[in-house]
A and B are shown apart, each in its own frame.
Chain A
Amino acid sequence: MSERPSLWWIDWRLSRGPLVQETIGRFLFFCLLGFALLSLLLSGGVSRILADRYAITAMLRAEVPSSEAEGLARKAAALPPVRSATYRDPEAAWEEFLRAYPGLGPVRGAGENPLPGYIEIRIRPDRLTGADVDLVVSSLRSVPLIEHVLAGEVWLPRLLRAGRLASRACWGIFGAFLACFFLVGRLQERARAVALAGDFSFLAERGVPSGRLAFFRAAGAAVSGFLLAAAGTAAGGGALFLFLRMFPFLEGVVGPPSDLLLPRTVAAAALFSCGAALLSAAASVLGWRAARPGRK
């Protein structure tokens, strides 16, 4: 009984040198994609940027004491869509106003501060939608201590639409990179199949079915793709973690580094690795088919 040879890692055994180069290249690419994926996952596209820039301002009445205002801020912070609610007294409002309009300082002189205190309410990035904003605004407007609520009703819909478009663009770019990865992988697989065509013909003449050969090649590509994607994502995550630690101001754009270890982030990274495996397998099959005789 003749022993049939294992076809696992046939390419590694037939063309080790080029495959090492391809593996290194794919790892680096997955590092980049993992970095981008985790950044997008943490930031939610541009949601975190928008949530950091957008705030609802509840202008208090002039006679509201600080203790009541702080109590009101605590109640507002307890609303589900609200990330934080901060009370600023009239003095802080006046200083902020003078920072915005520095020319008014000498004009006002020693006059009385006409500005009231206010509560600044920030929305969670994942709840920054028109419905949630309306919910918070309607809750605030029902409070008698609040005289006026500034929620950007005029420009908020445009901002949210722009945010959605920007997020889609980011994900689109990420998808384009994945597509590039797929196309490049296919080309590499095809080139390798062409280069090893003699070896594959030899094996075919010895009774190895071409389909089986292709399957094993694709399976190897999938495993290596999964491992490379997982490793690259982990490396990218590590780099992002260090990056965020080095540049804390980026937390406002990307998010806190602790979010990297959230289960949903890990699950998304695992899903990405599976997708990368599938893409690697598909690229191997398509490259194999493209390299068959009679096809260019």
Chain B
Amino acid sequence: MTRILSVLLAAAVSLCILFPAASPGARDVAGELRKERGRLLEMKEREEKTTRELTEALRKEKLSKGRVGELQERLKRQRSLLSRIDRDVSTLNVRLERAEKAVRELEAAHGQARTGLHRAEVVAFVGQRAGAGDPWYPSARERERHFMRVYLAADAEGVARITRARERKEEERYGLERQVAVTERKMAREKKVGDTLLSRQEKERQRLADIGREKKRKVKELKSLRAKIARMESVVSRVERQVKERERRARKAAPGGSAARGPAEAPRRFASLSGGLSAPLAGKVVTRFGRQHDTTFDVTIENRGVEIEAPSGASVKSIGRGEVAFAGAVSGFGNVLIVQHGGGLFSVYGRMETFLVKQGEAVKKGTVVGRLQGSPSGKSVLYLELRAGGTAIDPTSVIPLDS
């Protein structure tokens, strides 16, 4: 949109330059043109400002969307982590319950075993007291005492085994409890992180909504401006037609009317320009002529020229013979040079840094007219527009350019 407006502005400016005072009768028209040009410039400035704001809003929106996406991704990861921790906690709790059950069972078994051992000790004591010094069956008593020792040792070993098993289970239970506590703390920490992320995401969403509202407002404003500019363009075209009509009438009224006939008689074609045409510089066309869809703004733009990418500071040459009609700064296009080739043919060179020719100076094909701007990336872009009879034509159709 900026480019469209810039082209229109350039056209308007060039018209003003080319026809400063075509005839005394056209002074009111020129005044109207100046007036319209002032309004057009004002509208252009507003449009540029709106475009910048919209660009800024879009940049913010993009950043915000990126942050929201990043936050969503982090939240997703956080939720996944939390659910994994939750599963871990559940698993640990199940294991803990099992361990506690095992400990309870072992405690019960331990109690039974100890009771059994105590009872056996009592039985052994009573039995051995009763059979102590029995001279009648001494060997049998000795064997029974030995059996009792074996029995008590086995019982004591059983009690010790259960005790060891219980201690191991209790250690396992303590370990699981500690693990559960650590995991729960971790879960609480991660929940807090998740809450923070959620809060940040909510804020970011609100910011995104604000940006969206601002963007809508700016787009609406831009549409309104575009409509005004379109109307302005129609006005300029009408004025241009009036200028031509006046010139035609003036030539008819003149005695040697045929003397003035020449290049301005009828719109010539660039292909028939004497001396031929050449590329302004060696480079690659990065922006094509005509309707192009801009993905950044998501709008369709009508390009009136092409943009050629070339090394920064490259020399810009005239595409053909002619005269410098305008050399000055134009907002949105930097330094703009317009060469009049006669017969309603103009070539416009934008985004230049310096001019090497002056207004009114004649140039030939290949004359260096200026240099491109410098850039940290080492690449700069030249805006090239060709107009024939007030209509922009595709430069690539008449000049061999690398696309």
Measuring CB to CB, which residues of chain A are less than 8 angstroms from any residue of chain B?
53-57, 59, 93, 96-97, 100-101, 103-104, 107-109, 111, 114-116, 118, 148, 150, 152, 155, 159
Which residues from 147 to 189 on chain B have a C-beta closer than 8 Å to any C-beta of chain A?
A: 147-148, 150-151, 153-155, 158
**B124 contacts which of A53, A101, A109, A111 (Cβ < 8 Å)?**
A101
Complex interface: chain B residues within 8 A of A114 (CB): 150-151, 153-155
Which residues from 199 to 220 on chain B have a C-beta closer than 8 Å to any C-beta of chain A?
A: none
Which A-chain residue is minimally distant from B128 (CB atoms)? A101
CB of B150 within 8 A of CB of A150, answer no
Complex interface: chain A residues within 8 A of B142 (CB): 57, 150, 152
**B138 contacts which of A93, A100, A116, A155 (Cβ < 8 Å)?**
A155
CB of A57 within 8 A of CB of B120, answer no
Q: How far is the CA of A53 from the CA of B131 in the complex (A)?
A: 15
Nearest-Cβ distance from residue B94 to partner chain A, whole angstroms: 31
Task: List the 3 shortest-distance A-B pairs measured between CB atoms, nearest first.
Answer: A114-B154, A55-B139, A103-B123
CB of B139 within 8 A of CB of A101, answer no
Complex interface: chain A residues within 8 A of B122 (CB): 103
Q: How far is the CA of A73 from the CA of B297 in the complex (A)?
A: 108
CB of A104 within 8 A of CB of B151, answer yes
Which A-chain residue is minimally distant from B134 (CB atoms)? A53
B119 CB-CB contact with A under 8 Å: yes
B104 CB-CB contact with A under 8 Å: no
Given A59-B146, A150-B146, residue A53 in contact with residue B116 (CB < 8 A): no
Q: How many A-B residue pairs have CB under 8 A?
A: 71
Complex interface: chain A residues within 8 A of B158 (CB): 111
Given A97-B151, A101-B127, A108-B116, residue A57 in contact with residue B146 (CB < 8 A): yes
CB of A101 within 8 A of CB of B148, answer yes
CB of B144 within 8 A of CB of A57, answer no
Complex interface: chain A residues within 8 A of B139 (CB): 53-57, 150, 152
B299 CB-CB contact with A under 8 Å: no
Nearest-Cβ distance from residue B134 to partner chain A, whole angstroms: 10
B143 CB-CB contact with A under 8 Å: yes
Given A101-B144, A114-B154, A118-B143, residue A107 in contact with residue B138 (CB < 8 A): no
**B120 contacts which of A53, A107, A152 (Cβ < 8 Å)?**
A107
Nearest-Cβ distance from residue B148 to partner chain A, whole angstroms: 7
Known contacts A53-B136, A107-B119, A114-B153; 5 additional CB pairs below 8 A are A97-B144, A100-B127, A100-B131, A100-B144, A104-B119
Could you tell me the dominant secondary structure of chain A's interface residues?
Answer: mixed
Q: Which of A93, A116, A155 has the most CB atoms of chain B within a 10 A radius of its CB?
A: A155
**A115 contacts which of B123, B127, B147 (Cβ < 8 Å)?**
B147
Q: How far is the CA of A152 from the CA of B119 in the complex (A)?
A: 27
Q: How far is the CA of A111 from the CA of B137 in the complex (A)?
A: 29
B259 CB-CB contact with A under 8 Å: no
Which residues from 103 to 125 on chain B have a C-beta closer than 8 Å to any C-beta of chain A?
A: 116, 119-120, 122-124
CB of A115 within 8 A of CB of B143, answer no
**A159 contacts which of B119, B138, B147, B154 (Cβ < 8 Å)?**
B138
Complex interface: chain A residues within 8 A of B148 (CB): 97, 101
Complex interface: chain B residues within 8 A of A108 (CB): 116, 120
Q: How far is the CA of A103 from the CA of B142 in the complex (A)?
A: 19
Chain B interface size, as a band, is 20 to 34
CB of A150 within 8 A of CB of B119, answer no
Given A55-B140, A56-B139, A57-B139, residue A104 in contact with residue B120 (CB < 8 A): yes
Which A-chain residue is minimally distant from B126 (CB atoms)? A103
Complex interface: chain A residues within 8 A of B151 (CB): 97, 104, 114-115
Q: How far is the CA of A53 from the CA of B151 in the complex (A)?
A: 24
Which B-chain residue is minimally distant from A99 (CB atoms)? B144
Nearest-Cβ distance from residue A53 to partner chain B, whole angstroms: 6
Given A104-B123, A107-B116, A114-B154, residue A148 in contact with residue B137 (CB < 8 A): no
Which A-chain residue is minimally distant from B152 (CB atoms)? A114
Q: How far is the CA of A59 from the CA of B119 in the complex (A)?
A: 25
Which A-chain residue is minimally distant from B115 (CB atoms)? A107
Q: How far is the CA of A52 from the CA of B89 in the complex (A)?
A: 72
Q: How far is the CA of A54 from the CA of B135 in the complex (A)?
A: 10
Enumerate 5 A-B pairs (CB-CB under 8 Å) in ascending A order.
A56-B139, A100-B144, A101-B123, A103-B123, A150-B139
Nearest-Cβ distance from residue A132 to partner chain B, whole angstroms: 15
Which B-chain residue is minimally distant from A100 (CB atoms)? B144
Which B-chain residue is minimally distant from A148 (CB atoms)? B146
Complex interface: chain A residues within 8 A of B143 (CB): 55, 57, 118, 150
Which A-chain residue is minimally distant from B117 (CB atoms)? A107
Which B-chain residue is minimally distant from A162 (CB atoms)? B135
Nearest-Cβ distance from residue B306 to partner chain A, whole angstroms: 100
Nearest-Cβ distance from residue B131 to partner chain A, whole angstroms: 8
Complex interface: chain B residues within 8 A of A115 (CB): 147, 150-151
Nearest-Cβ distance from residue A170 to partner chain B, whole angstroms: 17
CB of B137 within 8 A of CB of A116, answer no
Q: How far is the CA of A75 from the CA of B159 in the complex (A)?
A: 39
CB of A53 within 8 A of CB of B138, answer yes
Complex interface: chain B residues within 8 A of A159 (CB): 135, 138
Nearest-Cβ distance from residue A150 to partner chain B, whole angstroms: 5
CB of B138 within 8 A of CB of A54, answer yes
Q: How far is the CA of A54 from the CA of B140 in the complex (A)?
A: 8
Nearest-Cβ distance from residue B150 to partner chain A, whole angstroms: 6
Which residues from 275 to 298 on chain B have a C-beta closer than 8 Å to any C-beta of chain A?
A: none
Q: How far is the CA of A67 from the CA of B242 in the complex (A)?
A: 136
Which B-chain residue is minimally distant from A118 (CB atoms)? B143
Complex interface: chain B residues within 8 A of A103 (CB): 119, 122-123, 126-127
Which residues from 34 to 51 on chain B have a C-beta closer than 8 Å to any C-beta of chain A?
A: none
Complex interface: chain B residues within 8 A of A101 (CB): 123-124, 127, 144, 148
Complex interface: chain A residues within 8 A of B136 (CB): 53
Complex interface: chain A residues within 8 A of B137 (CB): 53
**B147 contacts which of A54, A93, A155 (Cβ < 8 Å)?**
A93
Nearest-Cβ distance from residue A250 to partner chain B, whole angstroms: 16
Q: How far is the CA of A93 from the CA of B143 in the complex (A)?
A: 10
CB of A152 within 8 A of CB of B150, answer no
Q: How far is the CA of A150 from the CA of B142 in the complex (A)?
A: 7
Nearest-Cβ distance from residue A241 to partner chain B, whole angstroms: 27
Nearest-Cβ distance from residue B185 to partner chain A, whole angstroms: 46
Complex interface: chain B residues within 8 A of A59 (CB): 146
Q: Which of A55, A59, A107, A109 has the most CB atoms of chain B within a 10 A radius of its CB?
A: A107
Q: How far is the CA of A118 from the CA of B138 in the complex (A)?
A: 17
